[in-house]
């Protein structure tokens, strides 16, 4: 390919402007944390974190961690109070928080009342005073001696019904073929005081080993017309079910969404236990993507066999889950790194999709950052950025939990994650508001993408971009899985100016489909979607 410079700005002085000097000193947008980090707690080795912003008052945020720690902030996450929650029913990990339209807080968790009936039910405790005090709680799904595990909840904002789904084990850890795992569902129509009888909603059961062939990761989501959506991972892959009548009935046959190459239970160096379990969300905003369902997970489909590659993926459905898009890669770094423990939420005011995950793109070893990604166009494109202020090195002898978490409402965004330092665990969040108000995004980016025309196209198209400063760049075309299908510019130093690059898919024998121009410079990656129609 020939690179055409149609205008070039000549540098008349060797004195760099302030913003470029700052960029050179601090690194790229993708590797420099622009957001204040706040330690929530270091008490009792917090892990398996969850967080939720009160939509009625975004200064109020509730969060938690294993085993019974509940954290409350009343200043938007700047400071936190810890409360050790108790219940006679038992408190035993897997915290999940939701808030209804009345402003009631709900804390769902596992139950361990005694050594005989371990994980005997799911418990919901309620606070009507913004997390200052909590009820003793109510239980659901009790079916001893079977165990109930990994519960998640959502609120239907139309009627404040609470929907909960989880995994039931006939006998946790058993390898006996007659012992099964199933996805269960229950709901409350009276603000968490009582619960419906738990019902099984999955068609294909899993085993009880707590690995790839176990059904797990059931995170429910409410639709704009009262639908209930749930996806999970298991022996059949990534599966989906729905109810259109408030949870009374479900599909006779689960809908297959995607395979999960490498399984949802995989190993990551330095991590005691890792998983790629899915998260389901639905857009309830009044934006253009209202009603779209999203599922987010991680897997190893891009493994080369010699270098472990774990990526963050997302699929979406615009027809209530009947059909699904191909998996789209959320992390935008080069192949060969590990991104894991992803979580996703939808800002129900803006419709933006937010992700948080651990990320090792910047290092050749187990040093780990926390990254976020955001999609403002319904999952068509993703912008990645680092939120942790420094990397940490995990220890495989320390249990790290199974989850991160993130919550967003009206451009107030708060992730939560676990950090390890000197064998001690800490719960952290970051203040992301500056992403919308004070982030110096444009000066820190050494290039601007101007246009793609025509798009869609049938023969060839033109990609236009401008460089603000001399920059080593790469320009490639990727498929929807993130695979490089064409390299147009490879690590070349290009002078300031405006450039046009022509792309003809027929020269690469590419089929019709969706592709992405990917422009990288100074560690920053920007992507633009193109549609090739022969």
User: What is residue 505's three-state secondary structure?
Assistant: helix
Look at the domain 37-437 and name its fold.
Answer: Neuraminidase (2.120.10)
Residues with Cβ within 8 Å of 62's Cβ and at least 6 positions away in sequence, in order, are 51, 52, 54, 70, 71, 72, 97, 99, 105, 107, 131
Residue indicated by tokens 């639908």: 227
pLDDT below 50 — which residues of the chain? Answer: 1-33, 438-444
What pLDDT was estimated at residue 448?
A: 66
Instruction: For residue 184, list its beta bridge partners.
Output: 166, 200
Beta strands in 435-496 (DSSP E): 447-453, 461-467, 471-479, 484-494
What pLDDT was estimated at residue 450?
A: 66
What pLDDT was estimated at residue 12?
A: 31
What pLDDT was estimated at residue 534?
A: 84
Mean pLDDT of the chain: 88
Report how far residue 214's alpha carbon sits from residue 169's, in angstroms, rounded to the nearest whole number: 9
Judge if pTM exceeds 0.95. no
What pLDDT was estimated at residue 446?
A: 64
What pLDDT was estimated at residue 515?
A: 87
CATH architecture of structural domain 4-26+446-532: Sandwich (2.60)
**Span 478-496, pLDDT tens digits:** 887 678 899 999 988 888 8
Hey, where are the domains in the chain? 4-26+446-532, 37-437
């Amino acid at each position: 390919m020939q690179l055409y410079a149609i205008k070039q700005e000549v540098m008349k002085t060797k004195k760099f402007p302030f913003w470029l000097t700052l960029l050179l000193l601090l690194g790229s947008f993708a590797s420099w944390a622009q957001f204040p980090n706040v330690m929530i707690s270091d008490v009792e080795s917090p892990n398996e974190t969850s967080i939720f912003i009160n939509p009625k008052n975004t200064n109020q945020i509730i969060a938690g961690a294993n085993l019974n720690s509940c954290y409350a902030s009343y200043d938007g996450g700047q400071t936190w109070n810890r409360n050790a929650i108790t219940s006679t029913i038992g408190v035993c990990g897997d915290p999940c928080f939701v808030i209804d339209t009345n402003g009631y807080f709900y804390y769902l968790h596992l139950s361990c009342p005694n050594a005989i009936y371990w994980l005997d039910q799911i418990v919901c405790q309620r606070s009507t005073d913004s997390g200052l005090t909590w009820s003793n709680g109510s239980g659901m799904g009790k079916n001893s001696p079977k165990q109930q595990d990994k519960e998640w909840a959502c609120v239907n904002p139309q009627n404040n019904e609470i929907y909960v789904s989880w995994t039931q084990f006939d006998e946790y850890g058993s390898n006996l073929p007659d012992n099964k795992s199933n996805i269960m569902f229950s709901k409350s129509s009276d603000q968490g005081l009582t619960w419906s009888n738990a019902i099984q909603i999955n068609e294909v059961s899993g085993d009880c080993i707590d690995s790839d062939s176990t059904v797990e990761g059931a995170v429910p989501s409410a639709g704009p017309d009262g639908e209930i959506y749930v996806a999970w991972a298991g022996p059949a892959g990534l599966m989906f079910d729905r109810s259109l009548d408030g949870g009374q009935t479900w599909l006779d046959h689960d809908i297959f969404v995607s395979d999960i190459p490498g399984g949802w239970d995989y190993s990551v160096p330095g991590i005691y236990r890792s998983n790629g379990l899915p998260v389901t969300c639905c857009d309830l905003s009044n934006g253009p993507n209202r009603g779209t369902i999203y599922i987010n997970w991680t897997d190893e489909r891009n493994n080369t066999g010699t270098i472990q590659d774990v990526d963050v993926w997302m699929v979406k459905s615009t027809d209530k889950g009947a059909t699904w898009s191909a998996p789209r890669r959320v992390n935008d770094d080069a192949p060969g790194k590990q991104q894991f423990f992803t979580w996703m939420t939808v800002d129900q005011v803006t419709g933006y999709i937010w992700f948080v995950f651990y990320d090792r793109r910047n290092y050749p070893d187990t040093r780990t950052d926390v990254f976020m990604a955001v999609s403002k166009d319904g999952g068509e494109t993703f912008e990645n950025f680092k939120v942790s202020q420094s990397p940490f090195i995990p220890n495989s002898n320390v249990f790290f939990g199974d989850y991160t978490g993130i919550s967003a409402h009206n451009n107030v965004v708060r992730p939560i994650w676990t950090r390890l330092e000197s064998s001690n665990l800490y719960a952290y969040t970051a203040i992301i508001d500056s992403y919308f108000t004070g982030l110096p995004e444009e000066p820190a980016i050494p290039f601007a993408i101007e246009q793609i025309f025509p798009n869609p196209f049938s023969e060839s198209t033109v990609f236009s971009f401008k460089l603000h400063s001399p920059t080593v760049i790469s320009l490639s075309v990727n498929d929807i899985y993130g695979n490089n299908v064409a390299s147009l510019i490879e690590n070349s130093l290009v002078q300031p100016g405006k450039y046009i690059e022509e792309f003809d898919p027929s020269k690469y024998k590419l089929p019709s489909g969706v592709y992405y121009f990917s422009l990288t410079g100074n560690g920053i990656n920007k992507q633009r979607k193109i549609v090739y129609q022969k």
